[in-house]
Amino acid sequence: MNLVNAVVQGVLLGGLYALLAAGLSLIFGVMRLVNLAHGAFAVTAAYGSLTLVQHLGWHPLMTLAVVVPVFAAAGFGLQRGVLTRAATRGPLTPLLVTFGLAVIVESLLLTGFSADSRTLPTGQLSVASVRLTGTVSVGVLPLLTFAVGVVAVLGLQWFLFRTPAGRLMRATSDDREAARIVGADDRRVFATATAIALGLVAVAGVFIGMRGTFAPSSGAGVLLFAFETVVIGGLGSLWGTLAGGVLLGVAQLLGAAIDPAAGVLAGHVVFLVVLAVRPEGLFPKAVIA
């Protein structure tokens, strides 16, 4: 059954969207800053992984060991160097700065890798599958992607609510001045949050590259999907993010099953319907961010 298959695949795709959305949501939650370069960063991670695959012959999964720490470090530096200055100057500045960053990153990728679509070769992983019922089988790679998304959301939830560092992050987000009074280093907290967010983005980017094709201009689409996931799920709710990702993934793949050209549009329409009918999202925030 084609539609059942689309739903199953859509649910699994939702894990990837949740992973993307978690990074966007974390930066917004902690710093009230919407990172318009989010998608461009994810695509950059995919190209970073591609470079390692081509030059060292690594499997894309192995490249995570390099790409993720590099992105986390870059996130720390980005926050210290640019975003701190941007975030203190009212709501316009971070948007202009991150949009400018997105243009820079996309254009640099264009000069370095050309506009051609690429994909990360996954070898055996791309064909391996698990048969669920007679007609529905699930690829190991989509399953792995979904698992990584769920683990990332669970891990972030655990970090924010069960560890001292997470508590500090929530406190700083709630009231920066008060957190400073009790001795929190707010700049360090913000830089840590950005580092985690960029690490998540890097993981998401590599999985995007393994699942399908990517090009320098793919960042815009990635940003929009991450954003739609956040809004459908409900701002600041990590569980909502997972549900939002699943709903968006199912909508896109069901749409594509009906008309191959309508997949992305179907996702956008579901987002607009949620915005019209339930603007607070499926799981309105009770928590962080």
Partner 1 sequence: MRASRTTPFSRVSAVVLGVLVAVLAYAPYAVSRGTQTQLVLLFCYVLMGTMWNLLAGYGGMVSVGQQAYIGIGSYGLVTIADQMGVPAVLAVPLAGVAAGAVAWVTSFLVFRLAGGYFAIGTWVVAEVLRLVFTQVDGLGAGAGVSVGAYGDLGPAYRIAVVYWLALATTVLSVFGVYLLMRSRTGLGLTAVRDDPVAASSLGVGVAGAKRLVYVAAAVGCGMAGALIASNTLRVQPESAFSINYTAVMMFVVVIGGIGAIEGPILGAVLYFLLERELSHFGAWYLVLLGIVVVAFTLVLPKGLWGLVAGPRRQVFPVGLTVMRS
- How far is the first Cα of the chain from the last one, in angstroms, to the nearest whole number? 40
Residue 17 vs 146, nearer CB to partner 1 = 17
Residue 28 vs 207, nearer CB to partner 1 = 28
**Amino acid identity, position 172:** T
Residue 100 found at the interface with partner 1 (CB under 8 A):
yes
Cα separation, 14 vs 233, in Å, equals: 11
Residue 96 vs 154, nearer CB to partner 1 = 96
Q: How far is the CB of 127 from partner 1 (least distance, A)?
A: 31
| The one among 134, 164, 177, 261 contacting partner 1 by CB under 8 A | 261
Check residue 227 and report its DSSP letter: H
Binders of partner 1 among residues 156 to 185 (CB under 8 A) are none
Residue 128 found at the interface with partner 1 (CB under 8 A):
no
Q: How far is the CB of 6 from partner 1 (least distance, A)?
A: 19
| The one among 248, 271, 283, 289 contacting partner 1 by CB under 8 A | 271
Cα separation, 180 vs 170, in Å, equals: 13
Residue 34 found at the interface with partner 1 (CB under 8 A):
yes
Residue 255 found at the interface with partner 1 (CB under 8 A):
no
Using an 8 Å Cβ cutoff, are 288 and 29 in contact?
yes
Residue 89 found at the interface with partner 1 (CB under 8 A):
yes
Binders of partner 1 among residues 223 to 252 (CB under 8 A) are 223-224, 227-228, 230-231, 235
Residue whose token pair is 């470090």: 73
Dihedral class, residue 139 (left if φ above 0, else alpha if ψ from -120 to 50, else beta): beta
Residue 85 found at the interface with partner 1 (CB under 8 A):
yes
Residue 101 vs 196, nearer CB to partner 1 = 101
Tell me the three state secondary structure of residue 36: coil
Beta bridge partners of 129: 139
Residue 275 vs 287, nearer CB to partner 1 = 275
Q: Where are the alpha helices (DSSP H) in the chain?
A: 2-31, 38-56, 60-78, 84-87, 92-113, 140-162, 164-174, 176-181, 186-211, 219-233, 238-258, 263-277
- Distances in Å between the Cα of 203 and the Cα atoms of 20, 23, 44, 67, 151 are 9, 10, 11, 8, 12
User: Which range binds partner 1 by CB under 8 A, 10-18, 63-71, 108-116, 150-158?
Assistant: 108-116
**Angle at Cα 278 formed by Cα 273 and Cα 281, nearest 5°?**
100
Binders of partner 1 among residues 3 to 32 (CB under 8 A) are 28, 32
Cα separation, 135 vs 146, in Å, equals: 21
Residue 187 found at the interface with partner 1 (CB under 8 A):
no
Chain residues that interact with partner 1, rule: CB under 8 A: 28, 32-34, 36, 82, 85-86, 89, 91-97, 99-104, 106-108, 110-111, 220, 223-224, 227-228, 230-231, 235, 261, 264-265, 268-269, 271-272, 275-276, 279
